Amino acid sequence: MILTQTLSRRHVLAGLLLSTALAPNLPAAQTAAPTETPFSFEDLKREMKTRAALPDTPPALLDTFLDELSYDDYRNIYFRPEAARLMQPVTRFRLEAFHPGWLYKKPVKIHEIVDGVARPLTFSTKDFEYRNEVAEKLPEAPSLPGVAGVKINTPFNTAEKYDELITFLGASYFRALGAGNSYGLSARGLAVNTWRSGPEEFPRFSAFWIQRPTPEDSAIEVYAALDSASVTGAYRFVIAPGADTVIDVEAELYFRETVPHLGLAPLTSMFYFAEHSERRFDDFRPQVHDSDLLRMVRTSGDVLVRPLNNPPRVSNSFFADDEIIEFGLVQRDRSYEAYQDAGAQYHDRPSVMIDRVGDWGPGKIRLIEIPAKLEIDDNIVLLWVPDEAPQAGETRNYRYRMHWGALPADGNGELAYVYSTRTGVGGASGVPVENPNLRKFVIDFQGGTLGGLNPEAQVIPVVTASAGEISNPVLHKIDDADQRWRLFFDVDGQDAELIELVAHVADQERKLSEVWLFQWVREVTAGSEN
């Protein structure tokens, strides 16, 4: 299904984050809570359930010098590493804070849990370094009502340096890293009415509780309160750093109102262009994206991959497949040469795969692709949508496991993986185009059982299209050393504005490759080339 909307998602996010409340939304009777309080996940669930019976009342905007911080001011404020928390006793984890101000004008309260008791973690201007002009704006006795968010560091790249592991900042957004990664796509705690008719609602993490780790702990536990106009939630994150960082998430949601379109385990990324793109702009780099594939795994072992697009209009894809138990956004190209960008380091961006845990009930995976004019536009959204909309007064519990890291394709597995996708003008190369609706698709499959077969093996390309006409499918082995096979075919799009393509390689008994999916969104203009 294709939806046409003109508003850039980047503008929507920017506008909403400017006004997003990031402070605890406690009822008035609870604002004078004691300094130390018993804490458990069950306690947090009960509090959030009680809160759901009351209207959402975000706190007022800051009224200090923080209101006036500009972008340039904000980027000149640094947290002092020596002020990191969770350092006593010495552990694998250190916690730093983000200064309030600029986009983040409403504070988050942070707590530390020790022996089942929660104590506030307070931060002051002494924990930050104010450089250049912003130092001159600092009042004589400034105070911080809270912080904008938190960052947890751990030495999982080298033993000598505490590297960034995970950041919680803005609404319910968070980002994590595996070893050797640089920040790319983001996750959210929850999405409400994303790209539907009417405004999108952005739930916020309003407070955090961090379990103080022991020196022996290899994982750290973070709890969060989620608030929004239509829902509250109690969240638990168990974060284990490594080559692939694993995050176990449990979310218990309490609905103030009926939510027509709930998005679970949401991911937000950027796709500008790649080898398969019909490029509408010039750029010296061969690819620019944080993620290039949607990847889904069925209980049968089938793997579905769909190259992402930067479409000419907003595109929605739904995958209603009860057998899909894993899904996520993948950055498959891992060489610098694939991007030629020494600054952005797109080849190091993490992939994220999500394993559903327990019974989520019937639902579907939704992929939203939004036109991006610049590479700063977050134009890809992935989420899981339950078929039954939650009703006011209802409670739901969801658990899932997230894998953040390079997550390289397994060339030694049974299935050959999609190594690359390319597209171009259809027909024979080097001759004038006779049919402007004809387009060529070229898919390289690498590794697996297929990769080890000789070039004369009896393997079959299986290609289908939802519209138009497929012609000249050819499959051959192109590189014995890399165990790579190439499938190419032409599609006559005729007058279709959208064509869904599916392809894989098989023998007489089974699939030998991942299943390649592609959505060809066409700008059909009479008498013009596509």
Encode pLDDT of 451-460 as tens digits.
Answer: 999 999 999 9
In eight-state DSSP terms, residue 53 is T
- pLDDT tens digits for 356-392? 999 999 999 999 999 999 999 999 999 999 999 999 9
Arch. (CATH architecture) of 417-521: Sandwich (2.60)
Asked, as a colleague might, if the bond just before 362 is cis with ω within 30 of 0, I would say no
CA 107 vs. chain centroid, Å, equals 24
pLDDT at res. 21: 30
Global confidence as pTM = 0.91
Domain at 9-405, CATH from 2.70.98.10, 3.40.50.720, 3.40.50.300, 1.20.1300.10: 2.70.98.10
Question: Domain-by-domain residue ranges, the chain?
Answer: 9-405, 417-521
Q: What are the residues whose beta carbons fall under 8 Å from the beta carbon of 240, sequence distance 6 or more? A: 218, 219, 246, 247
Residue stretches of the chain with pLDDT short of 70: 1-34, 61, 63, 141, 524-530
Q: What is the pLDDT of residue 89?
A: 74
State residue 79's pLDDT score. 97
pLDDT of res. 462: 98
Of 271, 108, 290, nearest to 205 by C-alpha is 108
What lies within 8 Å, CB to CB, of 88 at 6+ separation is none
CA 452 vs CA 332, 418, 474, 504: distances in Å: 21, 15, 19, 17
Q: How far apart are CA 64 and CA 70, in angstroms?
A: 14
pLDDT in tens, 211-245: 999 999 999 999 999 999 999 999 999 999 999 99
Q: What is the DSSP string of 216-236?
A: T-SSEEEEEEEE-SSEEEEEE
